[in-house]
Amino acid sequence: MNHSPNQPILMTSSLHVNDARKAIAELVDDLIAESAAINDPADIETVALDQAINRILAKDLLSPIDVPAADNSAMDGYAFDGKCLDTSYPTISLKIIGTAFAGKPYEGSVGLGECLKIMTGAVMPVGCDTVIPQEFTTSKDDLAIEFKQDQLKLGENRRLRGEDLQQGKPAISAGRLLRPSDLGLAASLGIASLPVKRRLKVAILSSGDELRTLGEPLDAGSIYDSNRYSLTGLLNRLNLDIIDCGIVRDDPASLKQAFIAAASKSDVLISSGGVSVGEADFTKQIMQELGDVGFWKIAMRPGRPMAFGVLKPVAGKSPARKTLFFGLPGNPVAVMVTFYQFVRAALLQLNGANQTEPPLTQAIAEAPIRKKPGRTEFQRAILGRGADGKPSVRLTGSQGAGILRSMSEANCFVILGHDQGNIAAGDWVDIALFDGLL
């Protein structure tokens, strides 16, 4: 993204959501390139496996072993030489000569016309390359089995050495946001620690004279600050280092000093409040002094006003990196929606993740949904299952940007595209599950 220092990145009366995402991704790419030039070895650390959840893998994890380590049986049954199948006889009869258990390989060999009772995961004995499932066989006595020749083919039900992972090949690729299954995979390879990206330092603050900290009495016109707690929860899900800068009053000097102090110790600064037209705020003026920040009106609901950009490096910050800045709306729901739709992906991208956007799925609208074309809407909803077993979704009720209960009761967003109009009951709609976003 090409822009001049100290000039707004983008000014628009109605920016498409996709254009906003693109602009953010481009600027984050610029920051990544600048950070790479610093080449700070502290950007990578090694952590114990049980501390690696939701961290970003910094280097490809190479498998130190073949998985499986030897050819083994994919199920309980009987192992034998598949050459037995090359016959004109419709029924195959084999002599049982022993048993192979998982973790206790059979030490002998198996000849043509013989078989070995074998358990799932047991090493394939010498002379065997095929397994007939136990349920496909008939026991003639305790010493022999028979089965129909057309019930399997040569090599079936055998897992080959290195079939899942080959020694020296990547088991998990760099950039992975590590999930519980990834930790299990690493443990299965005997790996006790992982190289991960340094946790981003994210500063958060709320601005507004009307805001009160929990425990303070509410006077006329004041409200408790909920946004910092929502943001703290969202950031904790990404396992980031959070710096809580508290509440800042609507005073130019205080606000400027708070931004400078936050930028001096963070990679990212997220503020809430003070970006709407007509508010008693000074954010725009201060941001244009401190960095390269654009103020947007995005064609979306909720969350129309938002600021985004970078703050210049400040004295005492080492290394001298720029600070990514998001100025989110003040309404509680709008804060969470804009975080989900813009901030989360940018944080993952800046931290080196190779997948930043959660997948969408679809469900059937249980009732009509009103929608005006010309903006993207993120309506809070509950995903369930209809009487026919198909996924269905219903809104949580009133969708006002200040109704935090609409987020608390929901488990997904219904995402209505920019050009979409009203939705009829029974229409399929796009949804994003919260668990996929968190």
10-residue mean pLDDT series, the chain (438 residues): 43 80 94 85 92 96 95 96 86 94 92 95 95 92 88 93 94 95 95 97 93 91 93 94 93 90 95 69 76 88 91 82 93 93 96 89 96 94 93 91 87 95 97 74
What pLDDT, on a 0 to 100 scale, did the predictor assign at position 1? 42
Return the CATH number of the domain spanning residue range 12-52+199-350.
3.40.980.10
Residue ranges per structural domain of the chain: 12-52+199-350, 72-159, 164-196, 361-437
Cis peptide bond N-terminal to 319, omega within 30: yes
What pLDDT, on a 0 to 100 scale, did the predictor assign at position 436? 61
What pLDDT, on a 0 to 100 scale, did the predictor assign at position 39? 77
What pLDDT, on a 0 to 100 scale, did the predictor assign at position 70? 95
What pLDDT, on a 0 to 100 scale, did the predictor assign at position 11? 47
What pLDDT, on a 0 to 100 scale, did the predictor assign at position 7? 44
What pLDDT, on a 0 to 100 scale, did the predictor assign at position 10? 47
Return the CATH number of the domain spanning residue range 72-159.
2.170.190.11
What is the fold of 361-437? Beta-clip (2.40.340)
What pLDDT, on a 0 to 100 scale, did the predictor assign at position 16? 94
